[in-house]
């Protein structure tokens, strides 16, 4: 049986596109039931329209407070009723109320080898620190910042002369493989969370 997934994205949506492509190619047994975005101008919205995926805009700036924005986002997510919520460059931290509503049902991709370089500008942090290897991490979302149980990681070399952009481009190619793969494993019912560990069955 196909799973229902919903994607949350705020920007250009290249990871969202990789997921759309993998679904359309029959690699992920899922339907993408919605794109939810906080940014009505996100290029991800164009990608959704092209693929015939319904779009829900929950524009943070249109709400009088963070609480009311989060209530509205929570309602939209509940209405979509997805088996899995995929954070693909969603640029707002989700409050504890939302994270608790979907335990083990929310995944994020982060452009570093966690637990290194959490938060924003992970590629810049890696270049500044001088690491020789960075990468990307797909993980389940819990209430910590980029700290939930790790599903998949891919290592990517940092090359002499790299800047934030060149490293980000190299990591992104790996994100586009890693994220659809993690979503495929979830949709095939092959991921089991045991404490901090994710076992692939
Ligand atoms: C990616 O680097 C992802 O790891 C991070 O945000 C970026 C989103 O890029 N969470 P895109 O919108 O998928 O192109």
Residue 172 CA to ligand 1 centre (angstroms): 8
CA 181, 187, 193, 199 dihedral sign is: negative
Per residue in 74-88, pLDDT (tens digit) is 999 999 999 999 999
Give me the pLDDT at residue 42, please.
Answer: 98
Check 110, 174, 176, 197 and give the catalytic one.
Answer: 110
Question: Cα–Cα distance between 21 and 14 in angstroms, integer?
Answer: 10
Which tens digits make up the pLDDT trace of 64-121? 999 999 999 999 999 999 999 999 999 998 999 999 999 999 999 999 999 999 999 9
pTM, to two decimals: 0.97
Closest CA relative to residue 47, chosen from 79, 24, 30:
24
DSSP string, 149-190: PEEEEEEEE--TT--HHHHHHHHHHHHHHHHHHHHHHHHTT-
Write out 19-48 in H/E/C secondary structure. HHHHHHCCCCCEEEEEEEECCCCCHHHHHH
144-168 pLDDT per residue, tens: 999 999 999 999 999 999 999 999 9
CA of 190 to the centre of ligand 1 (A): 25
* Ligand 1 nearest-atom number relative to CA 16: 13
- The total of other beta-carbon atoms located within 10 Å of residue 143's CB is 12
Give yes or no for a contact between 107 and 182, defined as CB atoms under 8 angstroms apart: yes
110 assigned to active site: yes
| Mean pLDDT in residue range 4-32 | 98
Segment 121-130 shows an average pLDDT of: 98
pLDDT of residue 92: 92
Task: Tell how strand 84-87 and strand 55-57 pair up.
Answer: unpaired
Q: How far is the CA of 133 from the centre of ligand 1 (A)?
A: 19
């Amino acid at each position: 049986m196909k799973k229902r997934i919903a994607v949350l994205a705020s920007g250009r949506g290249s990871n969202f596109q990789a997921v759309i492509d993998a679904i359309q190619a029959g690699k992920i047994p899922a339907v993408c039931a919605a794109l939810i975005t906080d940014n009505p101008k996100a290029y991800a919205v164009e990608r959704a329209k092209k693929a015939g995926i319904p779009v829900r805009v929950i524009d943070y700036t249109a709400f009088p407070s963070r609480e009311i924005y989060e209530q509205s986002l929570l309602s939209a997510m509940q209405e979509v009723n997805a088996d899995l919520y995929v954070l693909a460059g969603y640029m707002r931290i989700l409050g504890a109320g939302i994270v608790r509503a979907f335990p083990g049902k929310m995944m994020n991709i982060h452009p570093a080898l966690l637990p290194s370089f959490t938060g924003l500008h992970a590629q810049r942090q890696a270049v500044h620190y001088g690491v020789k290897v960075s990468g990307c991490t797909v993980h389940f979302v819990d209430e910590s910042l980029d700290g939930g149980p790790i599903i998949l990681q891919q290592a990517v070399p940092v090359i002499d002369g790299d800047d934030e952009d060149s490293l980000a481009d190299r990591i992104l190619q790996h994100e586009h493989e890693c994220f659809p793969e993690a979503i495929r494993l979830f949709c095939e019912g092959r991921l089991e969370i045991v404490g901090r560990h994710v076992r692939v069955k």
